[in-house]
Structure 1
Amino acid sequence: MAKGLEALLGATTDLQEEIYIPRLKTHFTIKALDEDSIERARAQATTGKDGSVDGALFNRLLIVKSAADPDFNDKALKDHYEASDAADCVRKALLPGEQTRLIQSVLALSGFVEDAELVEDAKN
């Protein structure tokens, strides 16, 4: 059996990772996102007649969709932060740097890697 085929047959896309948030002194659990989840987030963040994507909203939606713990849709959490929805809860509950850290981790877990890493992997 070919190595690529063997790898795909034995692989799972159900990946999770814990990310430590120092300010909160706890870990958040994120999961990898599939293409459909990313496209739904992009569609939700598309604004205006020109079809432009609100990048900040898109990132917050990715956090919402990838967060296994905490659940930003939790009513008590949204009430606590007086958030209109889960994406607004992310905006109000997390500092910008914390959001960036989570986004970077979600993208890496979902298979997006830096070009430099790809080049290095290709060399090996």
Structure 2
Amino acid sequence: MASALQALLGASKDIKEEVNMKRLGVKFTIRPLSFEEIKRAGDQATIGDKLDDQLHNAAIIALGCVDPAFNDKSLREHYEATDSADCVIKALMPGEVTRLVGKILALSGYGKEEETIEDVKN
């Protein structure tokens, strides 16, 4: 079994995953977000002292979706979007947004950890 140090030294943050988008008949490619990107998404979605959940989710997708790139000029023009987060809101269905956000955050290390029998014993 590898040590924690060896695991960290050999770990890659260059992770990508494909997510099937049934309605569109294609797969989107997503990646995890860094601490800075998570903060940027929160800052972008904060108006006054309130976090706009819809905008926050859209900003997470805009940053975490590699293909398609929601900052693509032709995509933004097609949806008459002001920026990449607005493009996400206009292009995707609410359920698709929720699903993609969940997948991006899971890749970023958020979510429930599965406990193994070994973990419970220790």
TM value normalised by structure 2:
0.91
Alignment-derived partner of residue 123 in structure 1: 120
Matched, 1:67 2:65: yes
Structure 1: 4+ residue segments shifted above 3 A: none
Give the match's secondary structure for 1:105. Answer: helix
In structure 1, the residue corresponding to 2:82 is in which secondary structure?
A: coil
Across the two proteins, how many residue pairs are aligned to each other?
Answer: 118
1 CA distance for matches of 2:34 and 2:71? 20
Structure 1 partner of 2:18:
18
Written as runs of structure 1 = structure 2, the 5 A alignment for 1:1-124 is 3-48=3-48, 51-114=49-112, 117-118=113-114, 120-121=115-116, 122-123=119-120
Deviation at 1:44, TM superposition (A): 1.1
| Matched position secondary structure for 1:43 | helix
CA deviation vs aligned residue, 1:59-110 (integer Å, no higher than 9, x gap): 1000000011001011111111111111111011000001111001001100
- RMSD (CA atoms): 1.4
Distance in 2, matches of 1:44 and 1:81, equals 20
**Which one-letter code corresponds to 2:61 in the other structure?**
I
Percentage identity across paired residues of the two chains? 50
Query: Structure 1 length normalisation: TM-score?
Result: 0.89
Consecutive unaligned residues of structure 1, counting only runs of 5 or more, are: none
The AA in structure 1 aligned to 2:81 is A
